[in-house]
Every structure is written in structure tokens, then in C-alpha cells.
Structure 1
Amino acid sequence: MDLRNCANCGRAFAYAGSELCSRCDTTIEEDFKKVKDYLYDHPGANIIEVSEATGVSEKKILRFLREKRIEIKEEDNLLLDCQRCGIAIRSGRFCDACTIELQKEFTEAVKPAKQEAERKKLLTSTESQKMYIAEIRKKQK
């Protein structure tokens, strides 16, 4: 069992894949439900209206936007910018173009390591076959 401190409140808890304790996680999910329900009834509301009506802080609402749990309706928003190129986005951290570029860069960076692992595996299997064949030759003599 891995024991960690909650990233939100600092309380110790048994780590199960989330950086938050169960109490904070439940609180955040309740806040998200409030925001989601308000936006369902009032589509197109701005962040200040949502915050005042639900009691959820603007910081948490921005976090929900960054996590792609909610998105901004208007294309011309002033809240979220791509963290790579600075263009306005509706949700998340990166625009679509930067996401594609980052995926390409990541696969290119991982490809040489993957090829090296495959080469070592092939080399190892070839060596083991040689040893096996040598063992057979020894038995034949």
C-alpha cells in the first residue's frame, strides 16, 4: 500500500491512482456536477455567472476547462489559450494543430527506443538459437 499526501488538502491517504484523497475527490466531483447542471440549464453562461450561481471558484471552473470536462461555446474566448502557440481554444491545454504536432514528435522520439529494443530482442533470440544449435551439435558427436 502506497501512502501519499493529498495534493489539495495535504491529508495522508492510501494512493489508488488519484493525487487526491477520497474526501477531496468527492468534493471536486460535486462541484463539477453543480457546474455541469448549471451549464445545462444556462448554456453560454460566462465563468463569472457560473461561479456566482454555483459557488464554485473560477479557478476550479478553469481547471475543468483545462481537463476538457467542459468547453467554451464561443470561438473567440479570452479565457483559454494554447499553452504552446497561444491561440484561443475551447478546452484543454493545446489547440488541435499543436496536439497533432506533439503526437508526431512523441512518436518520433519513442520510435528509436522501440527499434533498439526490437533489435536487442532479435539479437538475443538469435544468440539463444546459436547456443541451442551448438548444444545439438555437441550431442550429435
Structure 2
Amino acid sequence: MSRELSVAHCPNCGNVFQKNLRNLCAACTAEEDGQLASLEQMLKRNRKLTNEQLAEQSEVSEQRIRAYIRKGKLKLYDYPNLTDECDLCAGPIRQGKLCVSCTTRIKGDIRLDMERSKQQQAKHVFLSRNGR
């Protein structure tokens, strides 16, 4: 009975690897683990570093740092000056995917659209003479 191997291309380097939970080849997994260990060590020395300062000191890009934050590999509650970016305006956020102002704006837009929709529906109501 033959058993098939499930393989894929590594999203980081493009090498073929046997699929795993992390979806990375062994070399990229080791690199990521090394980067995370380095970042954690620097943050333990100075937990008040910003994303920019951490990137400069560690030689890990700010984009990669934000990716680690988004994946939950760097916990923001431990480090007060690390931030993620709002998906719409790229402003700093500490939780979720949208900042407060974008969330408020979207909720307002939805509320306004719903009110307009109700008004449009009310205009198209027809009554018969019999009230039916």
C-alpha cells in the first residue's frame, strides 16, 4: 500500500517541502524561530521598544514584525510600544484589524445606508382604497 507525500512550495523561499502545520520549509522555519528568539531577547532587555526601533536593532523588517504580531507570535500586551497596523488607514492599533476611527466610520456608513434603504422601501409602499 503506497502512501503519498503531501508537498508544497514554501511561501518564503519557493523550495519544495513536505507540508506541515507551519506551512514553511525547514530552513525558513529555523530562520523564523531564530528571528523570534532574537526579537524576544531584545524586548526582554527593553520592553518599551517601538516597531521601528526593534527593526533597526534586530535587522528584522517592520513588516515581518507586524506579521509576527498579527499571527500572535509577538504578544502586544507584553510590550506597550509595539503596534499592528489598521487594515484600512495603516494607523497604529493594539488589537483587532481596524482602528477605532475606521470602525466608527464604517458603523456610521452602515447605519446611514440602512436608514436610506428603509426610506426607499417606505416610498414604494402602495395602499389600496379598501386598506388592503
TM-score of the two chains, using structure 1 as the length reference: 0.55
The residue that corresponds to 2:17 in the other structure is: 13
Question: What percentage of residue pairs aligned between the two structures are identical?
Answer: 21
Which of structures 1 and 2 has the bigger CA Rg?
1
The residue that corresponds to 1:68 in the other structure is: 72
In structure 2, C-alpha distance between the alignment counterparts of 1:56 and 1:13, rounded to whole Å: 24
- Tell me how far 1:74 sits from its aligned partner: 4.7
Q: Does the Cα contact within 8 Å between 1:67 and 1:91 map onto a contact in 2? A: no
Report SS of the residue matched to 1:13: strand
Q: How many residues align?
A: 93
The residue that corresponds to 1:43 in the other structure is: 47
In structure 1, C-alpha distance between the alignment counterparts of 2:17 and 2:98, rounded to whole Å: 32
In structure 1, C-alpha distance between the alignment counterparts of 2:40 and 2:95, rounded to whole Å: 14
- For the structure 1 residues 27 and 44, does the alpha-carbon distance in structure 2 shift closer, same or farther, using more than 3 Å as the test? same
Alignment of 1:1-141 (within 5 A): 1-70=5-74, 71=76, 72-74=79-81, 79-81=84-86, 83=87, 89-91=93-95, 93=97
Normalized per residue, the structure richer in helix is 1
Consecutive unaligned residues in structure 1, runs of 5 or more: 99-141
Report SS of the residue matched to 2:11: coil
In structure 1, C-alpha distance between the alignment counterparts of 2:45 and 2:63, rounded to whole Å: 21
CA RMSD in angstroms comes to 2.8
The residue that corresponds to 2:120 in the other structure is: none
- For the structure 1 residues 92 and 26, does the alpha-carbon distance in structure 2 shift closer, same or farther, using more than 3 Å as the test? farther
TM-score of the two chains, using structure 2 as the length reference: 0.58
